[in-house]
Amino acid sequence: MALDTNTNACNTNKMPLSDAKLRSLKAADRPIKVSDSGGLHILVTPNGSKLWRLAYRFQGKQKLLALGSYPDVSLRDARLARDGAKDMLEQGEDPSHARKMEKRRARVAAGHTFRSVADDWFDGQKARWVASYADRLRRRLDDDLLREFGDRPIASIEPIEVLDAIRKIEQRDAIEMARRVLQMASAIFRHGVATSSCPRDPTADIRGALRAAPTPRRRAALKATELPEFVKRLEAYDGEPLTRLALKLVLHTFVRTHELRFAEWSEFEGLDGEEPPWRIPAGRMKMRREHLVPLAPEVVVTLQEIRKLAGRSQFLFPAPTRSRVISENTMLFALYRMGYHSRATVHGFRATASTILNEHQFNRDWIEAQLAHAEGSVRSIYNAAEWLPGRREMLKWWSSYLASLLSVPADHLR
């Protein structure tokens, strides 16, 4: 670092400055430069302003850094700024460039609310998500984060404020939801850091403060000995006919609830043929792979009944809801009405089917493929198609087995 020798200002006083000397400086007809040390000097302008300047060299070029005016910036603070600039130079950084970037970040941050950054993040990510998942995330964002921080400058939000918002979710006993909302908040703040809208992600300081999630309970599943009574109750169910058929379809195919609720007629091919498949698109599958479900004759009959009730809807199970199909709880509440509260869940049908099919010595790979469990390998992708004939025979057996339970006593089924 070197003193600036190329100036039109009158350079006086080679001794370090003092507050007394600074107060005594008077304006002249032209600027007066009074040096302190290490390139730091004060420039007294003809209008009486006293401006701190730091002269230095960076990559062979003479440069000048403004440090404010005296007495707003004291002699002590000006020297501290000079020392900070020296540290930057020793690390190969240009203090002037660092100052410009700091001002730019402050200017950008001042104009960015949490809402604007969150919307920008969401718009950039939603192309990766299926529509139903994007809708769920948008509601989560609107209800739990934008309601708290929407119009706040994102750079002003402190860790304790984020924790308070997450605590409100925990107080609803939604422990897992609280964790997911925190993950979303972190993604938004990190997007803000990347776009210079905020300096850091405050959620990093509170991750250890969340309540521990309780040990997950296994979803209730029917045993083989309980199935006869269940299929009889289902056959006699006096609630909404479309709900009864939805339960029947999921019992015969053991697909996931989400895969069933949003099923469209366009996914079913050749229902008049001998071996029609249900082709569930990858976007609705948990593993993001297209899934083929061979349809047994009993299932085709069920689909024909559904068609009569669904009318001209593109969906099998239309309903006047926001998603235009039956809700997540429609089938579960039907189970409650049938007397299966805490005894059975829709997802539990998958475990019931898996257990019984394994007990009857069906190929384990067929069962896993039909459950759409992925190994994460190329082998699993190709074998899902190769095992289709075996899965078709297995599902025909399964549907016949379920139909037989209407007449066979429970103690003869194992």
Q: What is the pLDDT of residues 297-348, one digit of tens each?
A: 999 999 999 999 999 999 999 999 888 999 989 999 999 999 998 888 888 9
Q: Would you state the pLDDT for residue 287?
A: 64
Residues 391-400 pLDDT 10s: 999 999 999 9
Q: Which two tokens stand for residue 402?
A: 């379920």
* Sequence-distant (≥ 6) Cβ neighbours of residue 359 within 8 angstroms: 224
Q: Would you state the pLDDT for residue 207?
A: 81
Write out the residue range of the structural domain in which residue 100 sits. Answer: 10-109
Q: Which of 99, 180, 289, 347 is catalytic?
A: 347
Residue 358 has pLDDT above 80, yes or no: yes
The CATH number of the domain holding residue 57 is 3.30.160.390
Q: Which of 97, 147, 279, 286 is catalytic?
A: 286
Whether residue 134 is found in the same domain as residue 94: no
Confidence of residue 1 (pLDDT cuts 50, 70, 90): very low
Residue 69 has pLDDT above 70, yes or no: yes
Average pLDDT over residues 130-135: 81
Residue 175 has pLDDT above 70, yes or no: yes
Which three-class secondary structure state does DSSP give residue 184? helix
Confidence of residue 38 (pLDDT cuts 50, 70, 90): confident
| Main-chain phi, psi angles of 290, to 5 degrees | -55, 140
Residue 100 has pLDDT above 60, yes or no: yes
3, part of any domain: no
Q: Would you state the pLDDT for residue 213?
A: 67
Task: Establish whether 347 is a catalytic residue.
Answer: yes
Percent of the chain with pLDDT over 70: 87
Q: Would you state the pLDDT for residue 377?
A: 41
Q: Would you state the pLDDT for residue 9?
A: 57
Rounded Cα distance, 298 and 12, in Å? 102
Top-confidence residue, 266 or 375: 266
Q: Which of 261, 350, 391, 392 is catalytic?
A: 350
306, part of any domain: yes
Rounded Cα distance, 281 and 291, in Å? 7
Task: Establish whether 14 is a catalytic residue.
Answer: no
Q: Would you state the pLDDT for residue 196?
A: 84
Task: Establish whether 401 is a catalytic residue.
Answer: no
The CATH number of the domain holding residue 130 is 1.10.150.130
Task: Establish whether 41 is a catalytic residue.
Answer: no
Q: Which of 115, 256, 261, 391 is catalytic?
A: 256
Residues 135-167 pLDDT 10s: 889 999 999 999 999 889 998 899 999 999 999
Number of domains in the chain: 3
Q: What is the mean pLDDT of the chain?
A: 85
Average pLDDT over residues 277-284: 84
Task: Establish whether 237 is a catalytic residue.
Answer: no
Whether residue 273 is found in the same domain as residue 378: yes
Task: Establish whether 286 is a catalytic residue.
Answer: yes
Whether residue 94 is found in the same domain as residue 180: no
Rounded Cα distance, 189 and 117, in Å? 8
Average pLDDT over residues 60-80: 89
Residue 188 has pLDDT above 60, yes or no: yes
Q: Would you state the pLDDT for residue 109?
A: 56
Residue 22 C-beta-side C-alpha neighbours within 13 Å: 22
Q: Would you state the pLDDT for residue 3?
A: 36
286, part of any domain: yes
Q: Would you state the pLDDT for residue 309?
A: 95
Residue that is last in its domain, among 209, 234, 268 = 209
> Please, which residues bridge with residue 35 across strands?
41
215, part of any domain: no
Query: Amino acid identity, residue 337?
Result: R
Token pair 């829709």 is found at 346
Average pLDDT over residues 207-216: 72
Top-confidence residue, 359 or 376: 359
Q: Would you state the pLDDT for residue 135?
A: 87
216, part of any domain: no
